[in-house]
């Protein structure tokens, strides 16, 4: 295996060990040649980006927005406080996913 592939597999295996109510569950991955695929649990309500910037027919109340901000902060605190901290460099609304009852998870 190439060094980049080994690094990818090592990182995915490390991330797969985490379990937190504010992180999307990682079910598996595929790594073939230069192609990489991560398989996460299905999030029925899509991304926070969709709810904030696109017309979806539903708006987020301030109460829901505050809950989302709190859960996002908890997810980041969990990652940053790990034994081997993970600095999440791609934190954006498209990577914050909501389940069917608008529970937030970071992917």
Q: Annotated active-site positions, please?
A: 90
CA distance linking residue 76 with residue 106, whole number of Å: 8
CA distance linking residue 58 with residue 10, whole number of Å: 40
Q: Which residues pair with 36 in a beta bridge?
A: 31
Q: How long is the chain?
A: 107
């Amino acid at each position: 295996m190439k060094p980049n592939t080994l690094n990818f597999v090592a990182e995915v295996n490390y991330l797969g060990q985490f379990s937190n109510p504010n992180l999307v569950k990682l079910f598996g991955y595929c790594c073939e040649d230069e192609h990489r695929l991560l398989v996460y649990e299905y999030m029925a309500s899509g991304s926070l980006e969709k709810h904030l910037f696109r017309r979806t027919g539903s708006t987020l109340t301030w109460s829901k927005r505050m809950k989302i901000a709190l859960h996002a902060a908890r997810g980041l605190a969990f990652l940053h406080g790990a034994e081997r901290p993970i600095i999440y460099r791609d934190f954006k609304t498209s990577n914050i996913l909501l389940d069917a009852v608008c529970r937030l998870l970071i992917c």
